[in-house]
Amino acid sequence: MAKTDIISKDIIKRLIKDISHYIFGLDLAQVEVLETQFQRVEERRADIVVKVAEASGRVYLLHIEIQSYNASDISWRMLRYLSDVALQWPDYEIEQYLIYVGKRSFSMAEGIVNKHLDYRYHVVDMHQIDCQYFLSQDNPDALVLAILCDFKGRNKHEVVRHIIGELKRYYADNEKGFRDSISMLEVLSANRDLKDVIRKEEKNMLSMRLDELPSYDIGFEKGVEKGIEKGIEKERTIVVNLYKAGADMALISQGTGLSAKEIKDILSKQAD
Protein backbone atom coordinates (compact mmCIF):
# COMPACT_ATOMS: atom_id res chain seq x y z
CA MET A 1 0.00 0.00 0.00
CA ALA A 2 1.08 3.58 -0.52
CA LYS A 3 3.18 4.46 2.52
CA THR A 4 1.77 7.99 2.67
CA ASP A 5 -1.72 6.71 3.42
CA ILE A 6 -2.70 6.75 7.08
CA ILE A 7 -5.85 4.89 8.10
CA SER A 8 -7.12 3.79 11.48
CA LYS A 9 -6.45 0.32 12.85
CA ASP A 10 -10.19 -0.35 12.88
CA ILE A 11 -10.36 0.28 9.14
CA ILE A 12 -7.28 -1.91 8.56
CA LYS A 13 -8.94 -4.73 10.52
CA ARG A 14 -12.06 -4.37 8.44
CA LEU A 15 -10.05 -4.39 5.21
CA ILE A 16 -8.10 -7.47 6.25
CA LYS A 17 -11.25 -9.41 7.13
CA ASP A 18 -12.87 -8.57 3.82
CA ILE A 19 -9.74 -9.18 1.71
CA SER A 20 -9.26 -12.49 3.51
CA HIS A 21 -12.88 -13.50 3.00
CA TYR A 22 -13.52 -12.36 -0.58
CA ILE A 23 -10.03 -12.80 -2.09
CA PHE A 24 -8.20 -15.42 0.01
CA GLY A 25 -11.22 -17.51 1.02
CA LEU A 26 -10.26 -17.35 4.72
CA ASP A 27 -12.74 -17.20 7.60
CA LEU A 28 -11.12 -14.93 10.20
CA ALA A 29 -12.71 -14.54 13.62
CA GLN A 30 -10.18 -12.05 15.03
CA VAL A 31 -7.63 -9.59 13.61
CA GLU A 32 -4.93 -7.71 15.55
CA VAL A 33 -2.85 -5.11 13.70
CA LEU A 34 0.89 -5.36 14.41
CA GLU A 35 3.40 -2.53 14.03
CA THR A 36 6.34 -3.46 11.81
CA GLN A 37 9.44 -1.45 11.05
CA PHE A 38 12.66 -3.23 10.19
CA GLN A 39 16.01 -1.53 9.71
CA ARG A 40 19.31 -2.63 8.25
CA VAL A 41 20.97 -0.13 5.94
CA GLU A 42 17.63 1.25 4.74
CA GLU A 43 14.25 1.59 6.40
CA ARG A 44 11.56 -0.69 5.08
CA ARG A 45 8.12 -1.65 6.23
CA ALA A 46 5.95 -4.60 5.22
CA ASP A 47 2.59 -3.44 3.89
CA ILE A 48 0.37 -5.19 6.44
CA VAL A 49 1.18 -7.69 9.19
CA VAL A 50 -1.66 -8.84 11.43
CA LYS A 51 -2.20 -11.59 13.97
CA VAL A 52 -5.33 -13.48 13.00
CA ALA A 53 -7.44 -16.24 14.43
CA GLU A 54 -9.54 -18.38 12.11
CA ALA A 55 -12.95 -19.66 13.12
CA SER A 56 -11.30 -23.10 13.42
CA GLY A 57 -9.08 -21.74 16.20
CA ARG A 58 -5.81 -21.58 14.26
CA VAL A 59 -3.76 -18.49 15.18
CA TYR A 60 -0.98 -17.16 12.94
CA LEU A 61 0.53 -14.02 11.39
CA LEU A 62 -0.82 -12.84 8.05
CA HIS A 63 1.49 -10.73 5.90
CA ILE A 64 -0.06 -8.99 2.88
CA GLU A 65 1.80 -7.08 0.18
CA ILE A 66 -0.05 -5.14 -2.52
CA GLN A 67 2.11 -4.77 -5.62
CA SER A 68 1.28 -2.33 -8.43
CA TYR A 69 4.07 -3.30 -10.88
CA ASN A 70 6.12 -6.34 -11.86
CA ALA A 71 9.29 -6.38 -9.75
CA SER A 72 12.13 -8.75 -10.60
CA ASP A 73 13.28 -8.88 -6.97
CA ILE A 74 9.86 -9.44 -5.38
CA SER A 75 10.64 -12.98 -4.20
CA TRP A 76 13.76 -11.89 -2.35
CA ARG A 77 11.89 -8.95 -0.84
CA MET A 78 9.10 -11.26 0.33
CA LEU A 79 11.70 -13.60 1.82
CA ARG A 80 13.34 -10.69 3.65
CA TYR A 81 9.98 -9.60 5.03
CA LEU A 82 9.37 -13.18 6.15
CA SER A 83 12.68 -13.38 8.03
CA ASP A 84 12.19 -9.97 9.67
CA VAL A 85 8.65 -10.77 10.80
CA ALA A 86 9.75 -14.20 12.06
CA LEU A 87 12.59 -12.66 14.07
CA GLN A 88 10.21 -10.17 15.68
CA TRP A 89 7.46 -12.74 16.40
CA PRO A 90 9.23 -16.14 16.51
CA ASP A 91 6.35 -17.99 18.16
CA TYR A 92 3.92 -17.76 15.25
CA GLU A 93 3.51 -19.36 11.85
CA ILE A 94 3.43 -16.86 9.00
CA GLU A 95 1.25 -16.91 5.89
CA GLN A 96 2.26 -14.50 3.12
CA TYR A 97 0.05 -13.18 0.34
CA LEU A 98 1.10 -11.04 -2.61
CA ILE A 99 -1.77 -9.18 -4.31
CA TYR A 100 -0.93 -7.89 -7.77
CA VAL A 101 -3.00 -4.91 -9.01
CA GLY A 102 -0.72 -3.59 -11.78
CA LYS A 103 -1.80 -2.59 -15.28
CA ARG A 104 0.50 -5.02 -17.10
CA SER A 105 0.06 -8.79 -17.11
CA PHE A 106 1.50 -10.53 -14.07
CA SER A 107 5.04 -11.77 -14.79
CA MET A 108 6.74 -12.10 -11.40
CA ALA A 109 8.21 -15.17 -9.76
CA GLU A 110 6.02 -16.83 -7.13
CA GLY A 111 8.87 -17.99 -4.93
CA ILE A 112 12.49 -19.10 -4.93
CA VAL A 113 13.58 -22.62 -5.80
CA ASN A 114 17.25 -23.52 -6.01
CA LYS A 115 19.71 -26.06 -4.65
CA HIS A 116 19.53 -24.70 -1.12
CA LEU A 117 16.10 -23.12 -0.90
CA ASP A 118 12.46 -23.94 -1.68
CA TYR A 119 10.41 -20.90 -0.69
CA ARG A 120 6.91 -19.93 -1.86
CA TYR A 121 4.08 -17.57 -0.94
CA HIS A 122 0.47 -17.13 -2.04
CA VAL A 123 -0.09 -14.96 -5.12
CA VAL A 124 -3.38 -13.33 -6.15
CA ASP A 125 -3.48 -11.67 -9.57
CA MET A 126 -6.45 -9.28 -9.52
CA HIS A 127 -6.50 -9.35 -13.32
CA GLN A 128 -8.06 -12.78 -12.94
CA ILE A 129 -10.98 -11.47 -10.87
CA ASP A 130 -13.78 -9.61 -12.66
CA CYS A 131 -14.89 -6.59 -10.62
CA GLN A 132 -18.50 -7.64 -11.28
CA TYR A 133 -18.04 -10.36 -8.65
CA PHE A 134 -17.58 -7.67 -6.01
CA LEU A 135 -20.03 -5.17 -7.48
CA SER A 136 -22.80 -7.76 -7.30
CA GLN A 137 -22.28 -8.44 -3.58
CA ASP A 138 -24.76 -6.82 -1.19
CA ASN A 139 -21.93 -5.62 1.02
CA PRO A 140 -20.27 -2.17 1.15
CA ASP A 141 -16.80 -3.59 1.80
CA ALA A 142 -17.08 -5.85 -1.24
CA LEU A 143 -17.94 -2.74 -3.26
CA VAL A 144 -14.75 -1.10 -1.98
CA LEU A 145 -12.63 -4.13 -2.91
CA ALA A 146 -13.92 -3.92 -6.48
CA ILE A 147 -11.49 -1.02 -6.99
CA LEU A 148 -8.59 -3.51 -6.95
CA CYS A 149 -10.05 -5.69 -9.70
CA ASP A 150 -9.65 -5.65 -13.44
CA PHE A 151 -12.48 -3.52 -14.85
CA LYS A 152 -12.57 -5.75 -17.95
CA GLY A 153 -12.82 -2.84 -20.38
CA ARG A 154 -15.37 -0.89 -18.37
CA ASN A 155 -14.92 2.88 -18.15
CA LYS A 156 -13.08 3.61 -14.90
CA HIS A 157 -15.16 6.72 -14.17
CA GLU A 158 -18.39 4.76 -14.58
CA VAL A 159 -17.18 1.98 -12.28
CA VAL A 160 -16.07 4.44 -9.60
CA ARG A 161 -19.31 6.41 -9.96
CA HIS A 162 -21.29 3.20 -9.48
CA ILE A 163 -19.30 2.23 -6.38
CA ILE A 164 -19.71 5.62 -4.70
CA GLY A 165 -23.40 5.80 -5.60
CA GLU A 166 -24.08 2.33 -4.18
CA LEU A 167 -22.17 3.17 -1.00
CA LYS A 168 -24.22 6.33 -0.58
CA ARG A 169 -27.47 4.42 -1.02
CA TYR A 170 -26.33 1.60 1.28
CA TYR A 171 -25.42 3.87 4.18
CA ALA A 172 -28.37 6.26 3.74
CA ASP A 173 -28.09 8.58 6.77
CA ASN A 174 -25.08 6.76 8.29
CA GLU A 175 -22.52 9.39 7.29
CA LYS A 176 -19.70 7.87 9.38
CA GLY A 177 -20.10 4.51 7.66
CA PHE A 178 -20.04 6.21 4.28
CA ARG A 179 -16.92 8.25 5.09
CA ASP A 180 -15.12 5.14 6.44
CA SER A 181 -15.85 3.28 3.20
CA ILE A 182 -14.70 6.24 1.11
CA SER A 183 -11.47 6.34 3.14
CA MET A 184 -10.85 2.66 2.39
CA LEU A 185 -11.71 3.25 -1.25
CA GLU A 186 -9.19 6.09 -1.52
CA VAL A 187 -6.44 4.07 0.18
CA LEU A 188 -6.90 1.05 -2.08
CA SER A 189 -7.38 3.16 -5.22
CA ALA A 190 -3.87 4.59 -4.78
CA ASN A 191 -2.54 1.16 -5.73
CA ARG A 192 -4.21 1.49 -9.13
CA ASP A 193 -3.59 5.22 -9.64
CA LEU A 194 -7.31 5.91 -9.32
CA LYS A 195 -7.28 8.25 -6.33
CA ASP A 196 -7.91 11.34 -8.48
CA VAL A 197 -10.80 9.56 -10.19
CA ILE A 198 -12.34 8.75 -6.79
CA ARG A 199 -12.12 12.35 -5.64
CA LYS A 200 -13.45 13.73 -8.92
CA GLU A 201 -16.47 11.42 -8.96
CA GLU A 202 -17.21 12.10 -5.31
CA LYS A 203 -17.12 15.84 -6.01
CA ASN A 204 -19.33 15.39 -9.08
CA MET A 205 -21.85 13.51 -6.98
CA LEU A 206 -21.97 16.33 -4.45
CA SER A 207 -22.44 18.80 -7.33
CA MET A 208 -25.57 17.13 -8.72
CA ARG A 209 -28.93 18.85 -8.50
CA LEU A 210 -31.01 18.02 -5.43
CA ASP A 211 -33.41 15.66 -7.23
CA GLU A 212 -30.49 13.76 -8.84
CA LEU A 213 -28.59 13.01 -5.64
CA PRO A 214 -28.49 9.33 -4.55
CA SER A 215 -29.00 10.67 -1.01
CA TYR A 216 -32.21 12.51 -2.02
CA ASP A 217 -34.33 9.78 -0.45
CA ILE A 218 -32.25 9.35 2.70
CA GLY A 219 -34.53 8.44 5.59
CA PHE A 220 -37.67 8.25 3.42
CA GLU A 221 -39.51 5.72 1.27
CA LYS A 222 -38.13 5.96 -2.24
CA GLY A 223 -40.38 7.53 -4.83
CA VAL A 224 -43.03 8.58 -2.29
CA GLU A 225 -43.93 12.21 -1.83
CA LYS A 226 -46.03 13.23 1.15
CA GLY A 227 -46.59 16.92 0.66
CA ILE A 228 -44.61 20.10 1.06
CA GLU A 229 -43.63 19.40 4.67
CA LYS A 230 -41.87 16.18 3.71
CA GLY A 231 -40.16 17.91 0.78
CA ILE A 232 -38.79 20.58 3.10
CA GLU A 233 -37.53 17.94 5.51
CA LYS A 234 -35.77 16.14 2.65
CA GLU A 235 -34.12 19.38 1.64
CA ARG A 236 -32.84 19.87 5.17
CA THR A 237 -31.55 16.30 5.29
CA ILE A 238 -29.64 16.73 2.03
CA VAL A 239 -28.04 19.98 3.18
CA VAL A 240 -26.91 18.45 6.47
CA ASN A 241 -25.50 15.32 4.78
CA LEU A 242 -23.63 17.34 2.18
CA TYR A 243 -22.17 19.52 4.93
CA LYS A 244 -21.08 16.48 6.96
CA ALA A 245 -19.53 14.99 3.82
CA GLY A 246 -17.21 17.99 3.59
CA ALA A 247 -18.94 20.07 0.90
CA ASP A 248 -18.37 23.82 1.20
CA MET A 249 -21.12 26.45 1.06
CA ALA A 250 -20.72 27.10 -2.67
CA LEU A 251 -20.94 23.40 -3.54
CA ILE A 252 -24.05 22.88 -1.38
CA SER A 253 -25.67 25.91 -2.96
CA GLN A 254 -24.89 24.58 -6.44
CA GLY A 255 -26.28 21.16 -5.61
CA THR A 256 -29.49 22.34 -3.90
CA GLY A 257 -30.25 25.70 -5.47
CA LEU A 258 -30.50 27.28 -2.01
CA SER A 259 -28.90 30.58 -1.09
CA ALA A 260 -26.04 30.78 1.40
CA LYS A 261 -28.44 32.34 3.95
CA GLU A 262 -30.97 29.50 3.54
CA ILE A 263 -28.23 26.92 3.98
CA LYS A 264 -26.89 28.65 7.09
CA ASP A 265 -30.41 28.80 8.56
CA ILE A 266 -30.87 25.05 8.04
CA LEU A 267 -27.48 24.23 9.58
CA SER A 268 -28.17 26.58 12.47
CA LYS A 269 -31.50 24.88 13.24
CA GLN A 270 -29.80 21.49 13.00
CA ALA A 271 -27.20 22.58 15.58
CA ASP A 272 -29.97 23.66 17.94
78 touches 96 (CB < 8 A): yes
Predicted local confidence at residue 164, as pLDDT: 87
pLDDT of residue 245: 61
Could you give the 3-state DSSP secondary structure of residue 49?
strand
pLDDT, one tens digit per residue, over 140-197 is: 888 998 988 888 888 888 888 889 888 888 888 788 888 888 888 887 887 788 888 8
Q: At 45, is the pLDDT very low, low, confident or very high (cuts 50, 70, 90)?
A: low
Using an 8 Å Cβ cutoff, are 148 and 187 in contact? no
Gap between the Cα atoms of 235 and 127, Å rounded? 43
Mean per-residue pLDDT of the chain: 77
Q: Report d(CA 125, CA 105) in Å as an integer.
A: 9
Give the per-residue pLDDT at 212. Answer: 46
Whether the predicted pLDDT of 210 surpasses 60? no
Lowest average pLDDT, out of 54-68, 72-86, 219-233, goes to 219-233
Task: From residue 187, give the alpha-carbon distance in Å to each of 136, 184, 240.
Answer: 22, 5, 26
For residue 66, give the 3-state DSSP assignment.
Answer: strand
Higher pLDDT pick, 136 / 71: 71
Residue 227 has what pLDDT? 41
Percent of the chain with pLDDT over 70: 72
| 63 within 8 A of 81, measured Cβ to Cβ | yes
Pick from 228, 236, 268, 269: nearest CA to 252:
236
| Cross-strand bridge partners of residue 183 | none
State the Cα–Cα distance between residues 68 and 99, nearest whole angstrom: 9
Q: What is the 3-state secondary structure (H, E, C) of 34-102?
A: CCCCEECCCEECCCEEEEEEECCCCEEEEEEEEECCCCCCHHHHHHHHHHHHHHHCCCCCEEEEEEECC
CA max distance for the chain: 79
CA pair distance 205, 220, nearest whole angstrom: 20
- 120 pLDDT higher than 90: yes
Q: What are phi and psi of 264, to 5 degrees?
A: -60, -40
Stated pTM of the model: 0.64
Name the pLDDT band for 262 (thresholds 50, 70, 90). Answer: confident
pLDDT at 14: 78
> Of 100-109, 137-146, 185-194, 215-224, which range is least confident?
215-224
Q: End-to-end CA distance of the chain, in Å? A: 42
- Region 18-45: what's the mean pLDDT? 73
